[in-house]
Structures are given as structure tokens and as C-alpha cells.
Amino acid sequence: MSTLPEPVWPVIALALIQVMDGVLCLKPVGFVARCFEDVNWPRRYWWVMSPIKFAAATGLLLGLWVPYLGAITTGALVLYFVGAVIMHVRARDFGRNLFVNATAMLAICVGTLVACFLL
């Protein structure tokens, strides 16, 4: 396992995705709000999604210089998206939200973890 990412570009790309996702969750845009509703995510917790996304982006970027932080943050994102996939399956939300959003992001996170820290 690498203590720092190599190559770095997938980690930077994943951080940018997290920032964009965090912005979309600030006052959830329509498709994000529908996604939260489809998995029965309580509205009172919607606010926490942006800080989580921004913290992930920060951890990924700091992890370019701080040993293990990028790997830990990427691993945490893998767990986050495993949870998202489980929530969609439990809610029987088998459409775009599951396959395009949650599953694709899970694949991106796993790919980043493997390519940048495990190979």
C-alpha cells in the first residue's frame, strides 16, 4: 500500500467530484432532493450531506501530502457509497439513482483506491 497517491490525478478528480456534489447538496437541486426522498432519507438530515462531501474533498486534497490520509478518505468514500447502494436497494429504487449515481460513484471510488494506493 502506498502512503501517498500515485498517480495523483484520480484523487484530484474525485475531490472535484465531491466539491461539485457538495454544492449540489447545499440546497438540494431537484434530482438530489428526489434521490433523498426516494431512499427515505429524513429531511432533517439533508443539511449534513454538504459538510460530508466538503470534508471528503478536503481529506483527499490534504492526502496528496499527508501520508495515509488520502487512502483513508478514499476508503471512507467507498464505505459511504456502499451504504448509498444499500439504501437504494432497500428502498427498491432501481433506476438512475442507483445505477448512474450510487453505483458509478462506488466504482470510481474503488478504482481510485486501487489505482492510487494499492497497486
Q: Is the pTM of this model over 0.75?
A: yes
Do you find a cis peptide bond into 67, omega within 30 degrees of 0? Answer: no
Q: What is the pLDDT of residues 40-79, one digit of tens each?
A: 999 999 999 999 999 999 999 999 999 999 999 999 999 9
User: Which domain range does residue 34 map to?
Assistant: 9-118
On whether residue 86 sits in a domain, the answer given is yes
Q: What is the pLDDT of residue 76?
A: 99
**1 in any annotated domain:** no
Residue 107 lies in a domain: yes
Residue 3 counted as domain residue: no
Using an 8 Å Cβ cutoff, are 66 and 113 in contact? no
Which parts of 27-119 fold into alpha helices (H)?
A: 30-38, 49-62, 69-90, 96, 103-113
Residue 2 lies in a domain: no
Instruction: List the one residue out of 27, 55, 57 whose CA is nearest residue 43.
Output: 27
Q: Is residue 31 part of a domain?
A: yes
* 92 domain residue, yes or no: yes
- As for how many domains the chain has, the answer is 1
Residue 103 maps to a domain = yes
